[in-house]
Structure formats: C-alpha cells, structure tokens
Chains A and B, each alone.
Chain A
Amino acid sequence: MIRFTKEHEWIRVDGKVGTVGITDYAQGQLGDVVFVEVGSVGKSLKQGDEAAVVESVKAASEVYAPVSGRVLEGNPALADDPAKVNADPLGGGWFFKIELANPAELDGMMDEPAYQAYVGTL
C-alpha cells in the first residue's frame, strides 16, 4: 500500500514498517539532488515533523514525516549517490524507514490516483 502527502512525500507500508521518499513530481521540482540528510536512527517523530533534508544544486528543502513513528534506518545508498532520488524516486531513492506508531494516520492520506489528480491541479 502506498500513500502520498500534499508536501509530495510518499510512504509505502508493509505491516508496521513504512518506507518514505519524495515523489517524481518533487524531484522534478528540486532538480539535481546533491545531498540528503536523514534524521537520527531511533528518533521518534510526530506526523509533520521535519524528518530529512534534501539539497538540490539550488536549495535545501525539508522532508516531513508522513506519519508518526520511530526512524529505523536511513538509505545508505544516498550518501554516495544522492542522484538516485532523481533517477528512481519511488524505488532506490527512498529516504528512510519508519515504524508506524499510529497506522490510522494513513486513512487521511491520498492514494496514487488522488495524488496524481492533486499534482494535476498544481
């Protein structure tokens, strides 16, 4: 199951664990990604908290936690190859994994068709 936020994060949920990244639309808006910094492993985040920073050539942007939970790991591949975020935003360019504290938070989020419709209005 995959869900999306209005801030262009996605979360793919498998049981109690969600994998989080930014959408293809978001990477296109950012341009070339040159650096990604994920918050500390073990940190507890509330939905909407700042969870990571993504830096493109032009600017730094915040990535917010789509759900509440505890950070399990960051994507180690992004340290050497942050451009994966551009090349494969919904796959190899994931940012971090989170243990969901409150799966009900997913109910208020967009599914893929809803997100695509939302992007169409931007």
Chain B
Amino acid sequence: MTPFAGYDMPLQYAGIIAEHRHCRARAALFDVSHMGQAELTGPDAAAALETLVPGDLLGLADGAIRYTLFTNEAGGILDDLMVTRRGDGLFLVVNAACKDQDFAHMAHRLEGRATLKILSDRALLALQGPEAATVLGRLAPEAIPMGFMTARDLTVDGIPCQVSRSGYTGEDGYEISVPADRAEALARRLLAQPEVAPVGLGARDTLRLEAGLCLYGSDIDTTTTPIEAALAWTIGKRRREQGGFPGAAVILDQLKTGPARKRVGLRPEGKAPARAHTEVTDAAGRRIGEITSGGYGPTVGGPVAMGYVETGAAGDGSEVRFVVRGSALPGRVVKLPFAPHRYHRA
C-alpha cells in the first residue's frame, strides 16, 4: 500500500510487470474510487461548464464522453477530466488530488447557472484489457455493443451502475461507477471471473505512460498549456472559433503561432530508464527540455518516457541525450503512443 492523494492505495499485488502484462493480455481490475465523481445539472449545465473548459460540451450527444481540461486565465491546466452527457446533465470524473479544488472552482464559477452535486457515495472500478468486454458482458450483456467513449446505465450482476466504455490504459475496457456500499461485492464478483486479476497504481502508471496519456501533476499542470501538452485535439472547431474559456487568448494564439515547446515521446536507446525531471539535451549537449514521466515500459520491454522539448528539436526521430547520473545517454524523440491503442470501435 502507498499513500496517494490522501488515500492508502494498492501499489501492486503480484508485481507491476506481471500486472501490466495481464492488463494488455486479459482483463485488469483497478479500484479508482479515489477519483472525484460529480453531477452538474440544470438546463444550462453544458454551456455553463464550457466557460471553464475548452472542450465542446454542447455538441456532446446523450451518453457520449469527452476528455477535457479545466484551464486558468494564463492558459495553464488546473486538471484534466472526463465529462459524460446524461440527459440534460453532465457526469464528471476528476483527479483525486484536485477534486476539492475542482469542485470549489465549479461551485464558485457556475453558481446560479448549474447545480453541482458531489457523488461522494459512489465508488469507481476500472475493468481494462482485451477480455474486459467478455467479462462484463457475462454480468451485463448490454455492455458488449457499447462504443468507445460512450456511457450507459446498466444493471451489473443486480447492481445499478453507470458504465462507461473508456479507461486510461490504452486498452479496451470500462469504468464502472457503482454505489459505494455495493462496490466490494461487485469487485469480488469481477475478480472471481477467470480472466480478471487485481492491478495496482504501479501498473496503472506504466500502462498510461506506454499509452502516451498524461498524468496530471507530472505531464500537465498550471505551467503547461493544452497546446504545449499536445492536447489541442481536445479543443473542438467551434471552441477554437469562439473561445469563451479561461486562457482562451493565450491558448488560441499558441494554436495559431505554434508553442515554443511540445510534449513528445522520448525513447532512451539503452536499457537505463530516464525518469521524471531528467534533463534532455540535443546531441551537442544544449539543454532543450525535461522528462515529465519516465520509466520502464513492460510491453515495450525497455525504457520509455515523455516530456517537453523545444519545438525546433521536437521532430520525430530527433537525436537527444538524457542526463542520467551525470552521463548523457543517447535517445530519440518518438511518436506517442509506445504501445498502440486498442480501443473498441463499435
């Protein structure tokens, strides 16, 4: 167990590499109940939340999910979150370490426009991997035809749940929002399936890193913009034209002129991992950036990293050096993800 965002979290069960491989091959169960869940309701909820995020929420169909970001006036990122349209309301999942701040931010900024209800009585389980649909389909057949980034209310083994076909591992899978008092029963039922093994925070981190996904507080924070973070894809056409979110001037200007630095994949050539905060230089030894997440990728079978480098040095295949324990280790800028995404396309 390890302390994380005020919770005691399982770091590993059978070992990070074994758990990571299990998720890529079969089905992994994560307890991610520490994340914040909330509902934003009222006829104006989507338009109201659009004043805080650059994502297109008005264009979200019922049951559709979108990944977006809370931005600040400087164009920095306060948190990343998942937004699901449910009837005339929105269901939100935010990061554990940011949830109090996020909820306060919404309550304050959206007062009178939408009603925030914090769902502290709900747990969240993530079932991820190529056999996740087989497993969940056994308990809730309607889960099988669901498309990627859609959500439905389903009864899973007799328990009323909100099921999303989404996740943060690069694999197909689901996130299941379940009443907290039924979560243990559901988790045990899922773990009893032959395909499923419990997986901890350690492998959750290696899986998301190989999938090229950002960890808030490491790869994105208030000092990075969505454009620098290579998250421009989260800003829809209408929002690019109209703005109307915090930091829009900075962000849309960067979108036009290009950012000075970019988040990229970084691959050490040797076997030594290069971890967060490692300095990145060009082949001549000039500092061009820093790693924000790095370690060993079990699917890749070697070291993988991501970080920010000067845009001029950020081209795919560019030679770089990583300063690890005083030595300049050779490596390259590479395209993300390291492990191909295998999301379910219905």
For residue A41, CB closer than 8 A to chain B, the reply is: no
By a CB distance below 8 angstroms, the chain B residues around A32 are 15-17, 296
Q: How far is the CB of A110 from chain B (nearest CB, A)?
A: 28
Residue of A nearest to B275 (CB): A60
For residue A51, CB closer than 8 A to chain B, the reply is: no
Complex Cα gap A58–B15 (Å) = 11
For residue A53, CB closer than 8 A to chain B, the reply is: yes
- Contact of A57 with B272 in the complex, beta carbons under 8 Å: no
Complex Cα gap A32–B271 (Å) = 14
Given contact pairs A35-B296, A58-B16, A58-B202, enumerate 15 new A-B contacts (beta carbons under 8 Å): A31-B16, A32-B296, A34-B273, A35-B271, A35-B273, A37-B272, A37-B325, A55-B273, A57-B202, A57-B206, A57-B295, A57-B296, A59-B275, A60-B275, A82-B271
User: What would be 11 A-B contacts, judged by CB atoms less than 8 Å apart?
Assistant: A31-B202, A32-B15, A32-B296, A37-B272, A55-B296, A57-B202, A57-B206, A57-B295, A57-B298, A58-B16, A58-B295
For residue A77, CB closer than 8 A to chain B, the reply is: no
For residue B222, CB closer than 8 A to chain A, the reply is: no
By a CB distance below 8 angstroms, the chain A residues around B206 are 57
Chain A 92-105: CB-based contact to B (< 8 A → 1; otherwise 0) = 00000000000000
For residue A79, CB closer than 8 A to chain B, the reply is: yes
Residue of A nearest to B15 (CB): A32
For residue B72, CB closer than 8 A to chain A, the reply is: no
For residue B311, CB closer than 8 A to chain A, the reply is: no
Chain B 1-36: CB-based contact to A (< 8 A → 1; otherwise 0) = 000000000011001110000000000000000000
Q: Which of B15, B275, B296 has most chain A Cβ within 10 Å?
A: B296
- Contact of A53 with B325 in the complex, beta carbons under 8 Å: yes
Name the one of A31, A35, A37, A59 contacting B12, with C-beta atoms under 8 angstroms. A31
Q: How far is the CB of B19 from chain A (nearest CB, A)?
A: 10
Query: Which chain A residues in 60-108 approach chain B with CB under 8 Å?
Result: 60, 79, 82
Closest 8 A-B residue pairs measured CB to CB? A34-B296, A57-B16, A32-B17, A57-B296, A35-B272, A35-B271, A55-B273, A32-B15
Complex Cα gap A79–B271 (Å) = 8
By a CB distance below 8 angstroms, the chain B residues around A37 are 272, 325
Q: How far is the CB of B24 from chain A (nearest CB, A)?
A: 15
Count of CB-CB pairs between chains A and B under 8 Å: 38
Complex Cα gap A32–B200 (Å) = 14
Task: Bin chain A's interface residue count.
Answer: 10 to 19
By a CB distance below 8 angstroms, the chain B residues around A34 are 271, 273, 296
Residue of B nearest to A59 (CB): B275
Complex Cα gap A69–B89 (Å) = 70
Name the one of B12, B15, B273, B298 contacting A60, with C-beta atoms under 8 angstroms. B273
Complex Cα gap A60–B275 (Å) = 9
By a CB distance below 8 angstroms, the chain A residues around B202 are 31, 57-58
By a CB distance below 8 angstroms, the chain B residues around A31 are 12, 15-16, 202
By a CB distance below 8 angstroms, the chain A residues around B11 are 58
Q: How far is the CB of A77 from chain B (nearest CB, A)?
A: 14
Query: Which chain A residues in 7-60 approach chain B with CB under 8 Å?
Result: 31-32, 34-35, 37, 53, 55, 57-60
Residue of A nearest to B18 (CB): A32
Q: How far is the CB of B210 from chain A (nearest CB, A)?
A: 12
By a CB distance below 8 angstroms, the chain A residues around B272 are 35, 37, 55
Complex Cα gap A82–B273 (Å) = 13
Complex Cα gap A35–B240 (Å) = 45
Residue of A nearest to B298 (CB): A57
Complex Cα gap A34–B302 (Å) = 8
Complex Cα gap A57–B321 (Å) = 21
By a CB distance below 8 angstroms, the chain B residues around A35 are 271-273, 296, 303
By a CB distance below 8 angstroms, the chain B residues around A55 are 272-273, 296
Chain B 193-207: CB-based contact to A (< 8 A → 1; otherwise 0) = 000000000100010
Query: Which chain B residues in 256-309 approach chain A with CB under 8 Å?
Result: 271-273, 275, 295-296, 298, 303
Query: Which chain B residues in 45-98 approach chain A with CB under 8 Å?
Result: none
By a CB distance below 8 angstroms, the chain A residues around B325 are 37, 53
